[in-house]
Amino acid sequence: MNTPQIALVTGASRGVGKGIAIALGAAGMTVYLSGRSATESASHLRGQLLPGSLAETAEAVNRAGGQGIPVPCDHRDDAQVRALFARIEREQGRLDLLVNNAALLHENLIDPGPFWEKPLELLDILDVGLRSAYVASYHAAPLLLKNGRGLIAFVSSYGAGCYMHGPAYGAQKAGVDKFAADMAVDFEGTGVAAVSLWLGPQRTERTAIAGAARADQYEAFLAVAETPEFNGRVIHALLQDPQLQTLSGQTLVTAELAQGYGISEAEGRQPPSYREMLGEPRMQHPARVI
């Protein structure tokens, strides 16, 4: 019997992280799940409690055919993150895949208006979302290198290249794109790849609430939105791709990757790329200053 591949999905209590983890579980992977909501949620949006917990995600991963291992972790706390990776090393001795998904999304993120009229706390996405992704990648790298092959995938969006939800959100997405580009340089020749992934609109607990509040803006998008599980299948296909190293350092659109891998939504629907509408990933200059 083949040894299951090992993944860590950060921010896996609900939403995108939860769906990605379930898809990886359905592919037979052992999936470590990190986040703050261990057994019950304390997160709210528009006065409503956002459902989801690590325990629920672990159960869903198990039902899908994998093994879900919930590890409560606040990604603002470097000591907790260090302990998370120490546990993975102790229990598995290696890591095949890190999905950097954790991000602190303020409930006023999608409100209209300029940044100075919104809470300063929107900036927290640069702590949990940008800095936290660097810290997780830092600790993941030695475990990925043990395999001689592996992947760090950053969850990003078209907001890296166009105005979307204001400057803090855009800076975080552009930042993880740059992380992937520069980490790929450091990983050259090791068999480990780093990519950043532009997801389209997602069907999650959060977007269901936000969509109801802003139906004029979101109804059309959500009608053709992606499920997080769809993106999880794309990430798994990337991990298995024998040409993965040729993609390392790039920012990729998951809807476009899905077409190449023959992946669609469960009902056969093919989510669209928004490249023409919202822009395309920035190409990095090949110059290197060491």
Active centre residues (catalytic): 169
Angle at 20 between CA 17 and CA 23, to 5 degrees: 150
Residue 35 β-bridge partners:
72
CA distance 10 to 57: 12
